[in-house]
Structure 1
Amino acid sequence: MHEDATYKTALAIAARRLKSAGMAHGARDARHLMQHVSGLTAAELIRDEGDEIPARTRAAFFDLVERLAVGEPFEHLTGEAHFYGLDFRITKDTLIPRADSEVVVDEALARLPLGHPPSIADLGTGSGCLLAALLANHPGARGLGIERSKRAAEVAYSNMERLGLSDRAVIRCRSWEDWMGWDEVDLVISNPPYIASDVIPTLDASVRSFEPHSALDGGRDGLDAYRSIIDLAAAHMKPGAWLVFEIGFDQRAAVTALLDKAGFSAISCGQDHGQRDRVVSARR
């Protein structure tokens, strides 16, 4: 066996390629990609580093390494993302769940009523990560995910199934403008499109080129979705129910002003782990 054909050598080559692309954790990412394509655990990969790597595995591995080096998100390469202690299926049709959004789940969990099994609606559910995290951490809750993209809705449904939540979650493929159940839920949560249209071309290439623009583009000022949801909630939401939004780091004042003008109370804002404004909640 030639030394160049081992797992160890392939990992070294990949780490150099990713480092040259400016990736600070190239060696770690390379090992994770190797585990993904080979099916080996971390311990097995350490054990087998000196073994010959099958040609098909080597080719698949270097294909993923090159795609990662040119900016394709790691989660798209593996088809999975970790969020709030759960593993989600991810495709190019959904936003990648990010740790910054976990504070949105924290805020929503704190707003769920304790006197009865709560009902939740997630508007623009995407992968279903927010809804699934809430249901997984509140066993009595039931939820509805609204998603206008058929492909994204299919991903959300598959995630509810794989996480054992499909008996408490319903996914509907429709727009939130067509949803008629506002007065039936205790909490509405949403991570809507909130990037201003002219900002999208300036985003990191891994977002700009690979994530669905329909889940990013919030219109001229980034507030179109908030206006839509707040207007509908103000007209149809039952008194005492909560609205919980993920927001952009610079949108606190604008979103809270919209809620205040619409007559919501108990408006508050929370920050993510980077001390950036990330979540706004309000009571009808």
Structure 2
Amino acid sequence: MSITLGAIMDRFRRALQAAGVEDAAAETRILIGGALGLDRAAMLARPELALRPEDETRLDAMLDRRLAGEPPHRILGRREFFGLEFQLSEATLEPRPDTEILVETVLERLRPRREEPLSIVDLGTGTGAILLALLSEMPFARGMAVDLSEKALATAQKNAEALALADRFDTGCGSWFAPLAGRVFDVIVSNPPYIPSAVIPTLDVEVREHDPLLALDGGEDGLDAYRAIAAGAGAHLASMGFVAVETGFDQRQSVEDIFRGQGFILSEARRDYGGNDRVQVFSKTRSA
């Protein structure tokens, strides 16, 4: 006898609640809806929907993975960001909602130049989410995605193709500015690794066992990436360009000091949805 949608949703909720998952109902909808291609309204409206035995088997396997600590979007292999869907891989972080603040900040600053053929480089691109979200809103801009991981760049390229943005999207494999070969950009953007090395073993299992270490480890004090970006940005930034970076909640002053030491001025700072310092924008002149 086949199981109904309502019954397997109840199975998921009970199991996740027993495991201490904070919002078991939401994760149930994410996992089952994502696996079956159903939105929330459809799931709530059709609890009597009969599932195929193979669907039940697949869903139970997903539940086992979640109970073992794997995050929901990792299990699905994709996550939405800025209204776009991005494929994930073991070499990439999940694009998270707070990073949308970085995209929104850059877009607001570029709004008067939306019709210009601007150039954007995304350092440590991962899935390509930041750069591709920007390109989706800037129809004449071109972007270059840089990452130390070839696997991450392959994922980003697939996402660019899926979003029909590959014709304005290039990749370069290497450390920070190394692949740029003297190129100059109107915008340098990055959500770099910024977690101190000693903190990583204390992170939640969903992060420490499923996110790539390369995208997390910011060195002894969590600031190595900002030092590298600040040191190299000047040589690759157009005269009226700017650098926009995401930071940890307690790193605003430290990051500002690093960029100031390289001749940059803080143009703007933004907080995330939780009220924490999250985004900083730097320019070479106050008018930029």
Asked if TM exceeds 0.5, the reply is yes
1:120 is matched with 120
TM-score norm. by structure 1 comes to 0.92
CA distance in 2, matches of 1:153, 1:31: 30
Deviates most, 97-106 or 168-177: 168-177
- The structure-2 alpha-carbon separation of the partners of 1:57 and 1:230, relative to structure 1 and needing over 3 Å to count, comes to same
TM-score norm. by structure 2 comes to 0.91
2:9·2:28 contact (CA, 8 Å) conserved in 1? Answer: yes
Deviates most, 113-122 or 248-257: 113-122
1:149 is matched with 149
CA distance in 2, matches of 1:51, 1:234: 59
- The structure-2 alpha-carbon separation of the partners of 1:40 and 1:192, relative to structure 1 and needing over 3 Å to count, comes to closer
- The structure-2 alpha-carbon separation of the partners of 1:248 and 1:47, relative to structure 1 and needing over 3 Å to count, comes to closer
CA distance in 1, matches of 2:182, 2:258: 18
Following superposition, the deviation at residue 204 of structure 1 comes to 1.3
2:254 is matched with 254
CA distance in 2, matches of 1:200, 1:260: 28
Taking the TM superposition and a 5 Å limit, the aligned residue runs for 1:227-238 are 227-238=227-238
CA distance in 1, matches of 2:128, 2:236: 24
Deviates most, 257-266 or 5-14: 5-14
Structure 1 SS opposite 2:99: helix
Following superposition, the deviation at residue 205 of structure 1 comes to 1.1
2:15 is matched with 17
1:75 is matched with 73
CA distance in 1, matches of 2:16, 2:156: 31
Deviations for 1:28-70, whole angstroms, at most 9, x for unmatched residues? Answer: 3223322333345555545653344322211110111121123
Between the two proteins, the alignment pairs up a number of residues equal to 282
- The structure-2 alpha-carbon separation of the partners of 1:57 and 1:153, relative to structure 1 and needing over 3 Å to count, comes to same
CA distance in 1, matches of 2:35, 2:136: 29
CA distance in 2, matches of 1:164, 1:192: 26
Following superposition, the deviation at residue 182 of structure 1 comes to 5.4
Structure 2 SS opposite 1:125: coil
1:106 is matched with 104
1:246·1:279 contact (CA, 8 Å) conserved in 2? Answer: yes
2:28 is matched with 30
CA distance in 1, matches of 2:158, 2:167: 12
Structure 2 SS opposite 1:281: strand
Structure 1 vs Structure 2 CA RMSD:
2.0
Taking only the aligned residue pairs, the percentage that are identical comes to: 38
1:256·1:267 contact (CA, 8 Å) conserved in 2? Answer: no
1:182·1:237 contact (CA, 8 Å) conserved in 2? Answer: no
CA distance in 2, matches of 1:201, 1:167: 40
CA distance in 1, matches of 2:222, 2:8: 44
Following superposition, the deviation at residue 128 of structure 1 comes to 0.4
1:212 is matched with 212
